């Protein structure tokens, strides 16, 4: 290879190392209009969502659904021509109700896919419960891990054989082609790895609907794949030239630069680009990979060449030179690895709190084992080899063990490249918050499956005189008595924690009892359903059997009573199961009036089609409903199934009337219900609803009482 070609390769490598790398991760939602989980007085004409990275048009989608699961957008989702980080879609005229915005993004920064969703409400009502965005990146594919591992092995062989031939072999080596064969074998493995990732890179390059894109950002996702492919092909051509024309030093230097470019190509496709200093992190990662290749590939070349070196009389020289080269490579490997981990990891705790950190610790442990083996080989075995030829057997065994452990470490490195870096925050499957008497209580369950369960309770506001916190489990559909469970103060979480035995699937009431020194005890019931293989609060399983005819008769009488009420006052506490909470007081009056007050100060008043609302501390605003309000309207209960009778209980608001618990399921809402139905009046005194991300307790406080509901702003 000529001097001009060498300079060109060196400048290309230097430019890539010094070019500021684009920091990409995933395209995360930044803001949206309508904003997530808000209540709008009137319907929007368009939905817009802005993300943290530019999006690939054609692959990124934005859809809007109504409560029945019907598409209500116009199907014109598009990446904004002026802002490639924004998705927009037009919507049909929307009547009052809750709507779901669902998006799928493909980032032009890294080619990764993300999905997410949120809800908003048009018209009066409580803010919709939050949904969680999910990562659509595929789970770990064993084939992808294997291909990545083979690519790392091949890269190490190619670099190490080149380095060994350049710096360790004696000129008397002669025409031995073993390093060339190792190089070509390593390059074949690199190309195999590239072939696995090339289709996704090609698909991203084919995107484009005429939207202006930053050319550099569009090139970055495929830069890793293309750089490795081009560098590997050029290196193959250089090796062919070496085989044909001899082993000039300049040719080996050019081969080494191309091998380094292969490593750099891999580095610009790793987690290093998402660090706070991407250019530095990419450089450190490239140095780490090059050092691994020089040491490990050189060691494999040395082991494969022992017979040739001994017969050629150059073994002692090669061993001494390799020892010096390996020492330098090992130092670079360790220093760059530690520095790279410090830049990539978001916090030290991620080392033991995330899968990525745990695998990284395992890789570090193997690195220490390798260093120990290398030190033993250099200090104890190499002197024997120099003095006695029979010492070669021990050296070969130790070096083989060193290479084998390094192969396992490369497998962990392949796994690390496919694992997310960010810590996975362990959240309980259910975290419900309610408020009563100025005290907010949250209850978190570690599992929603039957069996022993860890419970954590937090108290906020007016709880300075707490003496004890107890948990009393019971089953609303049975009269079985269970013992109270004392919850112990937990210094780590700042709450109260204990273990309760929830023996079977189905409905459970978990009553938190707060005993106070200077005030009466506080009792707050929480309601859950336990199910095998539970996915709550995302979903609850539909019923598996028909209901009880007697329970259905009681339900029908209660439903009929609801449809005849003239007015009602309610207190409604709604949680989303993942920590969100809304408290509201509601008054409704036949035939078309309702007042809705949020604990935070927002208020909505509706009379027929006229509706007025105000934000906390704001002024009243007018708007017209697409559909006039009708009260009472409980038509959604018409499709109730799986009715089951439960225990008898007396509630404070029922005035001493005994109530019977009825459970049922409404498929249209994907919701389970509990009703406390008065045995004489057949009024519903309490309702519990469990739906996806929607856990609601409604206390019916006053029926058919004199009520006045008027619009605040007169025409």
Give 185-225 pLDDT, tens digit per residue. Answer: 766 776 777 776 666 555 555 444 333 333 344 455 567 77
Listing DSSP states for 164-228 in one string gives: HHHHTS-GGGTT--HHHHHHHHHHHHHHHHHHHHHHHHHHHHT--SS----HHHHHHHHHHHHHH
Per DSSP, the three-state class of 193 is helix
Task: Please say if the pLDDT value at position 19 is more than 60.
Answer: no
What are the φ and ψ backbone dihedral angles of 29, each rounded to 5 degrees?
A: -65, 130
* Assigned fold of 430-530: Immunoglobulin-like (2.60.40)
Looking at residue 214, what is its pLDDT? 37
Task: Please say if the pLDDT value at position 558 is more than 80.
Answer: yes
Sheet of strand 694-703: strand arrangement: 621-624, 610-614, 603-607, 593-598, 581-589, 567-575, 694-703, 684-691, 671-678, 658-666, 640-650
**Rounded Cα gap, residues 165 and 301, in angstroms:** 9
Give CA 29 to chain center in angstroms: 13
pLDDT tens, residue by residue, 285-321: 889 888 888 888 888 888 888 777 776 567 777 888 8
Per DSSP, the three-state class of 608 is coil
Mark residue 574 as left, alpha or beta (left: phi above 0; alpha: psi -120 to 50; beta: remaining).
beta
* Contacts of 598 by beta carbon, 8 Å cutoff, 6+ apart: 126, 582, 583, 584, 616
* Contacts of 648 by beta carbon, 8 Å cutoff, 6+ apart: 479, 658, 659, 660, 661, 679
Task: Please say if the pLDDT value at position 50 is more than 70.
Answer: yes
What are the structure tokens assigned to 36, written together?
A: 């997530």
With tokens 């380094």, the residue in question is 260
Q: How many CB atoms lie within 10 A of CB 620?
A: 13
Sheet of strand 451-460: strand arrangement: 430-436, 439-445, 451-460, 495-502, 485-490, 466-474, 506-516, 522-530
- Higher pLDDT among residues 446 and 206, named by residue: 446
Task: Please say if the pLDDT value at position 110 is more than 50.
Answer: no
Task: Please say if the pLDDT value at position 15 is more than 90.
Answer: no
**Rounded Cα gap, residues 183 and 415, in angstroms:** 24
Looking at residue 688, what is its pLDDT? 92
User: Which class is domain 549-701?
Assistant: mainly beta
**Assigned architecture for domain 29-122:** Sandwich (2.60)
471 forms bridges with which residues in the sheet? 485, 512
**Rounded Cα gap, residues 384 and 210, in angstroms:** 69
Confidence of residue 237 (pLDDT cuts 50, 70, 90): confident
What are the structure tokens assigned to 367, written together?
A: 């690195």
Looking at residue 111, what is its pLDDT? 42
Confidence of residue 695 (pLDDT cuts 50, 70, 90): confident
261-266: average pLDDT:
78
CB of 297 within 8 A of CB of 186?
A: yes
């Amino acid at each position: 290879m000529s001097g001009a070609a060498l300079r060109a390769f060196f400048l290309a490598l230097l430019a890539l190392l010094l070019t500021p790398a684009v920091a990409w991760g995933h395209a995360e939602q930044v803001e949206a209009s309508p904003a997530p989980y808000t209540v709008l007085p009137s319907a929007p004409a368009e939905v817009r969502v802005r993300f943290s990275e530019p999006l690939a048009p054609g692959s990124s989608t934005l859809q809007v659904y109504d409560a029945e699961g019907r598409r209500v957008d116009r199907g014109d989702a598009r990446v904004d021509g002026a802002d490639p980080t924004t998705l927009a879609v037009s919507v049909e005229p929307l009547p009052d109700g809750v709507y779901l915005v669902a998006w799928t993004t493909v980032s032009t920064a890294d080619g990764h896919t993300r999905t997410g969703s949120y809800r908003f409400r048009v018209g009066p009502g409580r803010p919709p419960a939050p949904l969680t965005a999910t990562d659509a990146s595929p789970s770990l594919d064993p084939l992808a891990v294997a291909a990545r591992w083979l690519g790392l092995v091949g890269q190490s062989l190619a670099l190490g054989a080149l380095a060994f031939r350049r710096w360790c072999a004696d000129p008397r080596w002669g025409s031995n082609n073993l390093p060339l064969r190792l190089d070509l074998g390593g390059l074949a493995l690199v190309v195999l790895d590239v072939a696995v990732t090339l289709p996704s890179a090609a698909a991203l390059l084919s995107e484009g609907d005429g939207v202006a894109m930053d050319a550099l950002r569009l090139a970055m996702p495929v830069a890793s794949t293309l750089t490795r492919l081009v560098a590997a092909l050029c290196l193959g051509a250089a090796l062919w030239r070496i085989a044909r024309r001899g082993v000039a030093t300049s040719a080996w230097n050019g081969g080494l630069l191309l091998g380094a470019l292969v490593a750099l190509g891999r580095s610009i496709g790793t987690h290093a680009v998402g660090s706070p200093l991407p250019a530095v992190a990419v450089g450190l990662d490239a140095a780490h990979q090059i050092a691994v290749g020089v040491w490990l590939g050189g060691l494999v070349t040395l082991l494969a060449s022992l017979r040739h070196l001994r017969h050629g009389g150059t073994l002692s020289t090669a061993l001494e030179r390799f020892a010096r080269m390996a020492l330098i490579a090992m130092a670079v490997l360790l220093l760059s690895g530690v520095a790279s981990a410090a830049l990539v990891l978001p916090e030290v705790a991620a080392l033991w709190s995330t899968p990525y950190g745990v695998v990284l610790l395992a890789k570090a442990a193997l690195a220490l084992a390798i260093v120990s083996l290398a030190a033993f080989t250099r200090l104890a075995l190499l002197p024997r080899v120099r003095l006695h030829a029979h010492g070669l057997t021990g050296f070969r065994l130790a070096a083989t063990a060193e290479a084998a452990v390094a192969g396992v470490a490369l497998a962990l490195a392949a796994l690390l490249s496919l694992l997310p870096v960010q810590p996975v925050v362990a959240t309980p499957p259910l975290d419900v918050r309610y408020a009563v008497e100025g005290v907010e209580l949250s209850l978190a369950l570690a599992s929603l499956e039957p069996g022993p369960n860890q419970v954590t309770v937090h108290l906020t506001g007016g709880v300075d005189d707490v003496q004890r916190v107890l948990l009393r489990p019971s089953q609303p559909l049975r009269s079985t008595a269970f013992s109270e469970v004392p919850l112990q103060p937990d210094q780590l979480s700042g709450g109260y924690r204990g273990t309760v035995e929830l023996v079977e699937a189905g409905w459970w009431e978990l009553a938190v009892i707060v005993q106070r020194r200077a005030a009466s005890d506080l009792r707050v019931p929480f309601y859950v359903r336990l199910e095998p293989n539970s996915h709550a609060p995302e979903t609850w399983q539909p019923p598996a059997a028909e209901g009880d005819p007697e329970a259905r008769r009681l339900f029908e009488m209660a439903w009929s009573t609801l449809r005849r009420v003239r007015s009602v006052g309610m207190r409604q506490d709604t949680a989303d199961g993942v920590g969100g909470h809304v408290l509201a007081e509601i008054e409704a009056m036949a035939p078309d009036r309702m007042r809705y007050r949020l604990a935070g100060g927002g208020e909505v008043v509706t009379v027929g089609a006229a509706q007025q609302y105000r934000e906390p501390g704001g002024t009243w605003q007018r708007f017209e409903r697409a559909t006039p309000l009708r009260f009472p309207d409980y038509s959604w209960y018409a499709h109730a199934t799986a009715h089951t009778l439960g225990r008898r209980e007396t509630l404070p608001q029922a005035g001493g009337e005994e109530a019977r618990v009825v459970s049922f399921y409404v498929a249209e809402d994907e919701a389970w219900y509990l009703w406390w139905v008065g045995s004489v009046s057949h009024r519903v005194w309490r309702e519990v609803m469990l739906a996806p991300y929607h856990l609601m307790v409604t206390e019916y406080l006053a029926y058919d009482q004199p009520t006045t509901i008027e619009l605040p702003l007169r025409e």
